[in-house]
Structure 1
Amino acid sequence: MAHDLGCERFICLTDAKLEAFEELKDQIQQFGGEFHTISGPLPLVSLLSADQELMVIADGLIADRAQVAALLTGQRGVLVLPDAAGIEAGFERIDATHAWGGIFVARGQIVEQLAHMPEDSDTVSLLLRLALQSAVKLVPLDASHLETGEWLLLREGSKLAEREQSLLKSSAERVSWWEPTRAMSRRIARFLAPDGLDHGSLIFGALSAVSFAAAAVATFFNVMPWALLFLALSILASETREGMLRLKSLLRGAVPKSTRKWFGLLKDFFLIGALSWPFIVAEAATELFLPVLAIGMLRLGERTWKAPLSRLLTDRGIFALFMAGISAFHLVDLGLGGISLVILALSLYFQRESQITEA
């Protein structure tokens, strides 16, 4: 949330020494930021200069990031709630009609006055009073956000659990069942979140690598059905790992990175090899023709077919499963040729239809 507003230095007010701080530090360094822990107001004076901006977040605040960005991007201000609703929700009263909304942005120069305050002072309350005295404007926050759970000051574990489920629901990727492998992988990631995200990504990454190796071994021994089944499992495990990593990144406010492009090429090369193995070098062109044609047609259909049918062609896991079943009956050539003809025919149909214009 602070990163959304451009914060570069993150300071936690605490006396505790927790292992979780090391993980938090690593996350912040991924943003290119700094992380510090301090136990009182005086160390803050040396960390900020008068020309910097200061953002303060109340302890225990869980707020909707989009709302915070909409209200405070590019401006200073103290978020405020109507006094009755805010105080009932646990927020601090700041005047006769308002309660603090839990966040404010002010000039860094207010920190200089902390040097004259007692070391055991409540740093956040002091900063809030100094911000209000510096005539920072009040930015009203609709009290309805308190009712929807988008804005909470956590005091009970049950509220945290509710907010956790709400955050997971909003962050989880929604993938259509027209991409069955991806859709299943994202639902597995959501089912295992949040506790399983850290170790789950490692487990599914290992499962993907082991399955891929097993597929290579089965291909070498010319057991095509098993090679394709192991490849389908590897693809599902890889997609699940990526789904977990993306969900983890989204929950932490980072931009998820995708490895689908290079892995997609690897899957296609492996499929071509598995479907044409074993082949004699002198007859390689003949052996490779149908597998290369089928993969080429899949890529053509991805571009020319209309959604959602086009999404089905991107799913190499389903293709591998289909070919595993076909290969069990020794009908690989017939299956590859049939798939290629169907995709070509529909690609020509969709392309021709898309070129029709109205006078």
Structure 2
Amino acid sequence: MLSLTDAIAGEPSGGAGLRGYLTIGGRSLARHQLGLALALGCTRIIVVTEALTGEVIALQHATEAGGARFHVIAQPHALLPLITAEDELFVMADGLLVLPEAALARLEEGPGVLALPVEAGTAAGFERIDINHAFAGMIRMPGRLVAGLGELPPEWNAHAALLRLAVQGRVPLRLLPEALLGDGRWVIVRNEDEAHAAEPVWLRLHTQSAHVRSPGEWIAGQLVHSAGPALLHAGTRPWVVAMGGVVALLLAVGSGWFGWPTAGFVLLALAWVLVRVAALMTRIERQSLLETGKTPPTGLIFELAIDAAFVLLAIWRSDLALVPGVPFGVSWFPPVIFILLLHFTPRVMPQGRWAWWLRDRLVTGLGFAVVSAVLPFDYCLRAVILALVVWAMVVTPEHGGSANPGLTTRE
């Protein structure tokens, strides 16, 4: 990692357009660029702007929270006292929005001017460099080249001036594949309409790694895609959504306590979906913004709390406690075994769709609710436990008699 790097992220000179203030996912493009700069290991962030606004102050706070220093300049010549010949400079064009993984993979290769094929690049809104290439909006260049700013007129745009110096200094061009433009991983956002069009693509790119293998995960993903932009633009952070899951969990336990276990099972299913939504929103912020702060309760502890609530509601729903002479513990033993099987069977079964359905607590909650409402609860619970054990025995492959069958031979 570089010991001293700098990043430029700004807006057009003259205040026209103010692309850096356009928002994607409730955060400005400049904030997205800041997350990428910190991921590159930058220790100083330089923002090119002509006005000290609230957004710039917010960038300063985020920069300092990330352990870097923050500078604001109004013209390119102000870079000269900030950068030495030993430094490396990362330049990000105004309005550029990229998937961090795509940018990191190319910038970590070494100094270079990232470029695109001229036809595809100019059609996507990027500026032409020469007859064959368009500027892809990012440069990694040695700090010694910045001294050339002293020979240029002060009215030059900072990004255009640094691009010219990099090209004249024979910084190599690194051609990006057109596929980055086609799937939205590398875009230039110039106005509000383009920001609105880029936002759902940005959400999809940051959630597509969340494998949708069960109904609950699919519903959580659809909620993020549909309601995520509104939540993020309203300033709703993931931990607020997760608190909704906590409230649903408490309401579920309260419903069971007052004799409405069926409603409690539905509320537990809702609580699990809300926490999955919060987990996806957390992933988006951490991947694209390096966001820190309050961590939502989306981990193992909350999942275990939901499972404990399932056991508790199943005990209250059971009719065995009303039978005289039934020993203590008979009513809680089946739900405990059932929940343990939901954790155990996916570990021993071949990975597939049904294994993921067993991890889906939306399916579990709705299944419990249906059984509680229309079927003999205790009988059905025991039948499902038996079915899970038999199913796991059938689909799990048998192991050989040797602990290391691949290393043993028969003579």
Once the two structures are TM-superposed, the CA of residue 293 in structure 1 deviates from its matched residue by 0.9
Partner of 1:80: 115
- Identical residues among aligned pairs (%): 27
User: Which amino acid is 2:241 matched to?
Assistant: F
Give yes or no for the alignment of 1:50 onto 2:50. no
Partner of residue 327 from structure 1, selected from 369, 372, 375:
372
Deviations 1:200-242 (A, max 9, x none): 7465334322222212222323432222222222222222222
Matched residues in 2 for 1:10 and 1:44: separation?
Answer: 11
User: Which amino acid is 1:7 matched to?
Assistant: C
Partner of residue 262 from structure 2, selected from 225, 240, 247:
225
Partner of residue 204 from structure 1, selected from 241, 244, 248:
241
Partner of 1:292: 336
Matched residues in 1 for 2:213 and 2:127: separation?
Answer: 50
| 1:49-128 paired onto structure 2 within 5 Å | 49-63=84-98, 65-81=100-116, 86=121, 91-95=126-130, 98-114=133-149, 119-128=154-163
User: Which amino acid is 2:345 matched to?
Assistant: G
Per the alignment, in what secondary structure is the counterpart of residue 47 of structure 1?
A: coil
Whether the 8 Å CA contact 1:167–1:251 is kept in 2: the answer is: no
**Greater shift after overlay, 187-196 or 169-178?**
169-178
User: Against the structure 1 CA distance between its residues 227 and 164, is the aligned structure 2 distance closer, same or farther, given a 3 Å change threshold?
Assistant: closer
| 1:137-176 paired onto structure 2 within 5 Å | 137-142=172-177, 151-173=186-208
User: Structure 1 stretches of 5 or more lacking a match?
Assistant: none
TM-score, normalised on structure 1?
0.82
Whether the 8 Å CA contact 1:300–1:347 is kept in 2: the answer is: no
Partner of 2:252: 215
Matched residues in 2 for 1:17 and 1:215: separation?
Answer: 49
Matched residues in 1 for 2:110 and 2:134: separation?
Answer: 20
TM-score, normalised on structure 2?
0.73
User: Which amino acid is 1:263 matched to?
Assistant: F
Once the two structures are TM-superposed, the CA of residue 184 in structure 1 deviates from its matched residue by 0.7
User: Against the structure 1 CA distance between its residues 226 and 38, is the aligned structure 2 distance closer, same or farther, given a 3 Å change threshold?
Assistant: same
**Greater shift after overlay, 291-300 or 112-121?**
112-121
Partner of 1:271: 310
Once the two structures are TM-superposed, the CA of residue 21 in structure 1 deviates from its matched residue by 3.5
Whether the 8 Å CA contact 1:54–1:108 is kept in 2: the answer is: yes
**Greater shift after overlay, 184-193 or 17-26?**
17-26
Partner of 2:381: 336
Aligned length: 358
Matched residues in 1 for 2:389 and 2:170: separation?
Answer: 69
Matched residues in 2 for 1:220 and 1:6: separation?
Answer: 53
User: Which amino acid is 1:137 matched to?
Assistant: P
Partner of 1:350: 395
Whether the 8 Å CA contact 1:202–1:241 is kept in 2: the answer is: yes
Matched residues in 2 for 1:316 and 1:89: separation?
Answer: 43
Partner of residue 12 from structure 1, selected from 30, 44, 47:
47
Give yes or no for the alignment of 1:40 onto 2:40. no
Per the alignment, in what secondary structure is the counterpart of residue 10 of structure 1?
A: strand
Whether the 8 Å CA contact 1:272–1:291 is kept in 2: the answer is: yes
User: Structure 2 stretches of 5 or more lacking a match?
Assistant: 1-35
User: Which amino acid is 1:285 matched to?
Assistant: G
Give yes or no for the alignment of 1:308 onto 2:343. no
Matched residues in 2 for 1:286 and 1:130: separation?
Answer: 79
